[in-house]
């Protein structure tokens, strides 16, 4: 979890899996619901190759995209 001086929150999680499913983001979904407008974004980094949009501000992100111009 990352929190700025205004109390806004972002979550980053790293998984060794190549694929992600709804169970992999349940914690972030619960946290977003609990903190309301303080929630900014959640990102689950994985070893896969495809960006996975779970919600407007919650994504599965393949690690290689961090260093790609396609991001």
- Among the listed residues 52, 60, 46, the one whose alpha carbon sits nearest the alpha carbon of residue 16: 46
pLDDT of residue 68: 76
Question: What length does the chain have?
Answer: 71
> What is the per-residue pLDDT across 14-37, written as a single tens digit (0 to 9) for each?
999 999 999 999 999 999 999 999
pLDDT class of 70 with cuts at 50, 70, 90: low
Average pLDDT, the chain: 93
Q: Specify the DSSP class assigned to residue 4.
A: -
């Amino acid at each position: 979890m990352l929190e700025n001086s205004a109390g806004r929150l972002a979550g980053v999680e790293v998984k060794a899996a190549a694929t992600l499913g709804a169970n992999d983001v349940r914690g972030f979904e619960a946290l977003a619901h609990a903190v309301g407008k303080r929630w900014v974004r959640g990102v689950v980094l994985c070893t896969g190759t495809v960006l996975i949009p779970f919600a407007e501000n919650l994504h599965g992100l393949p690690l290689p995209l961090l260093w790609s111009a396609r991001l």
